Structure 1
Amino acid sequence: MYETTNDDRPIVNGKQEPAQLKIEIPANRYFSQGKTTCPKYKSLPPPNAEPELMTCHEETSRVRPYVSGAMLRNIKFTQESYDSFIALQDKLHQNLARQRTLVAIGTHDYDTVKGPFTYEALPPEEIQFVPLNQKRSMNGAELMEFYKTDKHLSRYLPIIRDSPVYPVILDANRTVCSMPPIINSNHSKITLQTRNVFIDLTATDRTKLEIVNNILVCMFSQHTATPFTIEQIRISSPHNNETRLVPNLTPRATTASLSYINACCGLHLSAQETCALLTRMSYTAASPSPSDPDTLDVLIPPTRADILHQADIMEDVGIAYGFNKLPRAFPTVSATIGQPLPLNKLSDIIRLEAAMAGWSEVMPLILCSHDENFRFLNRQDDGTTAVKLANPKTAEYQVVRTSLLPGLLKTIRENKNHSLPMKIFEVSDVAFKDLALERKSRNERHFAAAFVGKASGFEVVHGLMDRVMAMLKSAFLTAEGGLGTVDKGKGGEGSDDNVGKAGYWIEENDEPTFFEGHAASIHLRIGGVTKVIGVFGVLHPTVLEKFELKFPVSVLEMNVEVFL
């Protein structure tokens, strides 16, 4: 990872010093040179006592709904370990926690506060405390104003600034411990003399919350009185009847195929040799049972949230063995078979067909402005379709496009001096909100084309559409009503004659994006199911004016995923 820093560069002899280039080269994986066993992390309740309690209030769901934590007991800080502890939090904030938007960490000197603790969401004016390393008490609103020019903390203020309530961690005496994700209280500041560290974590993503908690406490548990042992705390959420002990450091159990590992690496390792290599990478691996000699039982430590598949385990075996020592067998021998995804293969087929028809492919950016995606095309934003960027740097990158048309029209605009006619196309993704999915959005592969010339070229894009549909083995349905129309009683929509057959037809379209009477929607029937998959037509003059185009333009756009 690298970054350049340009802010506040000093002026020397009338010239500003060159920008600094910071280069960070982290360790690729946890790796042990010796044949030592990996640490056994333990999270246990305190002996002869109840775990410390953190109660989560229902109001926090309005701003930052999840909370977790842990206790590190009997630590003896040195300046080096203290600096490492602070740096670890900062690194976790920047990467896994995505600049504190997903997770924020607070660390406190437990001996300066009193449990049980509560996690609440209060109006800014009701939160009063002295921020870390400050001397003056402020409420939440004053704190936002105070830190808006701070080079370090100002970037985090927008995360909660516009919320009617701010998250806050309070102890039994209603003393503020922290206001996540902005800053801790100076009251519970950890120092070199701190012996017991109370950790709170708040989040908008529960999975990342526990990952960050596990990594933080495991990495620093070597400094506790009993190495690699963490004291659990109890999280109680009365509003959803949930109580749990955190952190949970139980290793994840999985399996890996010995033959798969050897085949991918080009090796002939025994089960014992493979287990020894995995031990060096912080796994706990056991030899296979006699009944299943090819399957290794593997325990993934809580620090390795990056391990998702046996391919990741195979990679770690290769790292431990040494990439430079792996046999050079490729391309005569290979354990993998590369092949395109069906959707990408279909896209390449459409690209080839359009190119052979004399159209040129373009590749605009997937981000565009809100106006280009909606207003410029005479379309309304109902707030349920477009994926919007939370903090766009420029007006050009406000939303993820829901149509390929803005990119094509901007390409034509920037190539006004190109000779006419101009025929361009794109096969790429658009994105839509989809609250039913975990990621709350989905991609959809579209094909779009645009023709610009002294004449509208409606018949040109119509011909391209017909050619692509024919190549995709979809017949054009006709009836007595005329070309491109469907007789409901003779094989059209609502008839049983076409059930099981693939075919399409067009119907007049009145979208304001297009010139009235010069547009059509594309209807596809596959297996008795009918869908509207696209539209083509001559663009409305107001659309041309907004994209600064002087000649008529005909466009085509259709969803190609339905053909898989």
Structure 2
Amino acid sequence: MPVISVNLQEFVKFVGTDLSITEIAEALPMLGVAWEGYHDGEFSVEVFPNRPDMLSVEGLARAFSSFIGVRPGLRRFEVESPGGRVTRVEGKVSPIRPYIGMAVILDFPMEENALLSMMQLQEKLHITHCRRRRKASIGIYDLDTIVFPITYTTKPVDFRFRPLEWDSKITLRDILLKHPKGIEYAYILEGLDRYPILLDNNGTVLSMPPIINSEDTKVTLNTTNLLIDVTGTHLKTVLEVLNIVTSSIAERGGRIGAVRILYPNKELVTPDMNPRSMVLNIKYATKLLGIDLTVKDVKMHLRKMGYEVEGKGNCDEVEVLIPCYRTDIMHQIDLVEDIAIAYGYGNFEPELPSISTIGEEDDIEKFSHVLRDLMVGFNMQEVITFYLSNEDKLFRRMEVPAEPLVKTANPKTEEYTVLRTWLLPSLMEVLSRNQHNEYPQRIFEVDDVVILDEKTDTGARTERKLAAAVCHADTGFHEIKGLVESFLKNIGIRGYKFEELEKGCFITGRAAKVLVEQDEIGYFGEIHPKVLENWGLKMPVSAMEFSVNKIYRYVKEI
């Protein structure tokens, strides 16, 4: 989780009341951050990933100011119309990095602390919410060096401009090979022959997203007007990050202005700083928290967390206005959590549940620990991936036919629409995302999948699986077969046999299923080149997957 450094004087100024470091250290963790320490006029806190709006001194102080009652309630932001501020998005960027959002801040009171805070906010957002710039990336520019309209386009690898902190113009190819930021993030643009570029009406380069800004548009201590852009592959993330950055910077002063974004087939005006609305059922909150809540109580607690609440008397529901920077609020359970924080976890009275048994770790969990230790002994690195996936990853990319599975009723994103039925697609995605790291790569996962089962009360059951994948230039069927044999020998499985397996994700003739008493407990093989191509992998992969539940059953019988 990201750790931010906060200047004490700056923090106190934005909170709006005198505070000692002791008072801050005692109260701030109650807001949901971890205190790291204080030294030489600065304190450090660890911010949980669900609160990216608190990754700056301005955002943290804003939340704390509401929490301690100095300035409770909703923060509203006025946004001036775009006027002549227009950015044209060319279709060339669609397959690479299709989305962009922009905002301007006029008459900004620039100072050194403001510049340092902007840099830190960018860095921490890039690491967390932006997924190391892959999902979104941020650029901040001196608006007075830019002439609208701006064009978001692509340029060939030999196009030249002067990147930030560089002495002369160099090609886009050389930026990825020589510039520190280019080297660090080149993997995002790997395999492309044209790269995203932002140009103003005079042909001045603003930046090469998501790599580096231009020296020509650099923000300095003399800058009074700012342009903010966020580009990315996911529009929702782009707009969320834009709101977080814009609202944080605007806490220092200045006027927010919009920019008109002209896509080939639609138009957006950004940023949209209007609050969202969500209905909260008070009985639902009362039941979850175990405390009696009135409309007045709900208003008081939610205002402490920066919301505004509309509702009167003893009504069962209230309308909650959510600030534009609270990207973590997706369901009324999130509002209930904030009520609990405002109420104070220390104020809840603990109760021992009335149970007649003593809890202990499940046998499958104990066995899973043994399997993890064994895989680590095989020089494998454990990964942990999401239960949620999508049908494209589970079936199309793996070249296997689709099968019935559990689907989410109201997915927020196309990335996560179903519950996974096997682990290998998750490992392939990990390998795909780590091609910039050195080889060989040897990874495994021991975790649950969800299988439809009409015999159960819920219509589905969880099953524990173990999967492993090896990726390097020389891997093949014999390497994964050797790993499988060593694995089975070490866990005590005897009397197994291999039979040829036909499965679309494996090369024909280089895959096998593992049988014990004619019961298939797993399979392994060499991944098909078409599957490698679907995942953008250039190295061969061999892989295996086993049912931990079945293995455990046979191990118990030994």
Distance in 1 separating the partners of 2:251 and 2:75: 11
Letter of the structure 2 residue corresponding to residue 318 of structure 1: A
Give 1:337's aligned residue: none
CA distance change for structure 1 residues 82 and 122 in 2, over 3 Å: closer, same or farther? Answer: same
Letter of the structure 1 residue corresponding to residue 276 of structure 2: R
Taking structure 1 as the reference length, the TM-score comes to 0.59
Q: Does the aligned pair in 2 maintain the 1:51–1:232 contact within 8 Å?
A: no
- Among candidates 329, 340, 364, match of residue 307 of structure 1: 329
SS at match of 1:143: helix
Letter of the structure 2 residue corresponding to residue 140 of structure 1: L
Distance in 1 separating the partners of 2:464 and 2:184: 37
User: Are 1:298 and 2:331 an aligned pair?
Assistant: no
Structure 1: which 5+ runs fail to align? 4-21, 335-339, 341-347, 370-380, 405-425, 433-447, 463-509, 523-533, 540-554
Q: Does the aligned pair in 1 maintain the 2:144–2:225 contact within 8 Å?
A: yes
Give 2:371's aligned residue: 362
Q: How many residues in Structure 1 have an aligned counterpart in Structure 2?
A: 392
Give 1:254's aligned residue: 278
Letter of the structure 2 residue corresponding to residue 234 of structure 1: R
CA distance change for structure 1 residues 193 and 538 in 2, over 3 Å: closer, same or farther? Answer: closer
| Correspondence 1:138-177 to 2 at 5 A | 138-147=170-179, 150=180, 154-177=183-206
- Among candidates 320, 323, 331, match of residue 345 of structure 2: 323
Give 2:162's aligned residue: 130
- Among candidates 113, 120, 125, match of residue 146 of structure 2: 113
Give 1:207's aligned residue: 236
Give 2:533's aligned residue: none
Letter of the structure 1 residue corresponding to residue 434 of structure 2: N
Distance in 2 separating the partners of 1:332 and 1:399: 40
Q: Does the aligned pair in 2 maintain the 1:461–1:556 contact within 8 Å?
A: no
Distance in 1 separating the partners of 2:267 and 2:174: 35
1:178-234 CA-partner distances (Å, limit 9, x unpaired): 1111111111111122121111211122221111111000111123335xxx21111
- Percentage of matched positions with identical amino acids: 24
Letter of the structure 2 residue corresponding to residue 312 of structure 1: D
SS at match of 1:86: helix
| Correspondence 1:43-442 to 2 at 5 A | 44-46=79-81, 50-126=83-159, 128-147=160-179, 150=180, 154-226=183-255, 230-238=256-264, 241-288=265-312, 293-324=315-346, 326-332=347-353, 351=364, 362-363=371-372, 384=399, 386-387=428-429, 388-391=431-434, 393=437, 395=439, 397=441, 427-428=464-465
SS at match of 1:55: strand
CA distance change for structure 1 residues 176 and 295 in 2, over 3 Å: closer, same or farther? Answer: same
CA distance change for structure 1 residues 402 and 333 in 2, over 3 Å: closer, same or farther? Answer: closer
Letter of the structure 2 residue corresponding to residue 305 of structure 1: T
1:434-464 CA-partner distances (Å, limit 9, x unpaired): xxxxxxxxxxxxxx997549x99547999xx
- What's the CA shift for 1:430? 5.2
Distance in 1 separating the partners of 2:524 and 2:174: 56
- What's the CA shift for 1:319? 1.5
Q: Does the aligned pair in 2 maintain the 1:120–1:169 contact within 8 Å?
A: yes
Give 2:403's aligned residue: none
Letter of the structure 2 residue corresponding to residue 362 of structure 1: L
- What's the CA shift for 1:141? 1.8
- What's the CA shift for 1:56? 0.9
Distance in 2 separating the partners of 1:300 and 1:403: 36
- What's the CA shift for 1:243? 0.8
CA distance change for structure 1 residues 208 and 431 in 2, over 3 Å: closer, same or farther? Answer: farther
Distance in 2 separating the partners of 1:317 and 1:180: 39
1:305-337 CA-partner distances (Å, limit 9, x unpaired): 11222222122112212222x232322589xxx
Q: Does the aligned pair in 2 maintain the 1:266–1:329 contact within 8 Å?
A: no
CA distance change for structure 1 residues 251 and 56 in 2, over 3 Å: closer, same or farther? Answer: same
CA distance change for structure 1 residues 179 and 520 in 2, over 3 Å: closer, same or farther? Answer: farther
SS at match of 1:223: coil
Letter of the structure 2 residue corresponding to residue 191 of structure 1: T
CA distance change for structure 1 residues 287 and 140 in 2, over 3 Å: closer, same or farther? Answer: same
SS at match of 1:232: strand
- What's the CA shift for 1:42? 3.3
CA distance change for structure 1 residues 452 and 76 in 2, over 3 Å: closer, same or farther? Answer: closer
CA distance change for structure 1 residues 321 and 142 in 2, over 3 Å: closer, same or farther? Answer: same
Q: Does the aligned pair in 2 maintain the 1:106–1:200 contact within 8 Å?
A: yes
Distance in 1 separating the partners of 2:293 and 2:138: 43
SS at match of 1:244: strand
- Among candidates 25, 32, 47, match of residue 45 of structure 2: 25
Distance in 1 separating the partners of 2:101 and 2:190: 22
- What's the CA shift for 1:269? 3.3
Q: Does the aligned pair in 2 maintain the 1:2–1:24 contact within 8 Å?
A: no
Give 1:376's aligned residue: none
- What's the CA shift for 1:296? 2.2
- Larger of the two Rg values belongs to structure: 1
Distance in 2 separating the partners of 1:55 and 1:203: 15
SS at match of 1:177: strand
1:454-511 CA-partner distances (Å, limit 9, x unpaired): x99547999xxxxxxxxxxxxxxxxxxxxxxxxxxxxxxxxxxxxxxxxxxxxxxx96
CA distance change for structure 1 residues 266 and 428 in 2, over 3 Å: closer, same or farther? Answer: same
Q: Does the aligned pair in 2 maintain the 1:449–1:461 contact within 8 Å?
A: no
Distance in 1 separating the partners of 2:174 and 2:545: 54
Distance in 2 separating the partners of 1:51 and 1:114: 10
Structure 2: which 5+ runs fail to align? 4-38, 52-62, 382-395, 400-424, 449-462, 470-484, 500-507, 526-543, 551-558
Distance in 2 separating the partners of 1:114 and 1:253: 37
Bigger Cα displacement from structure 2, 360-369 vs 49-58: 360-369
Distance in 1 separating the partners of 2:44 and 2:213: 28
- What's the CA shift for 1:142? 2.5
- What's the CA shift for 1:287? 2.6
Letter of the structure 1 residue corresponding to residue 266 of structure 2: E
The structure carrying a bigger helix percent of its residues is: 2
Letter of the structure 2 residue corresponding to residue 34 of structure 1: G
Give 2:405's aligned residue: none
* RMSD after superposition: 4.5
SS at match of 2:221: coil
Distance in 2 separating the partners of 1:260 and 1:107: 43
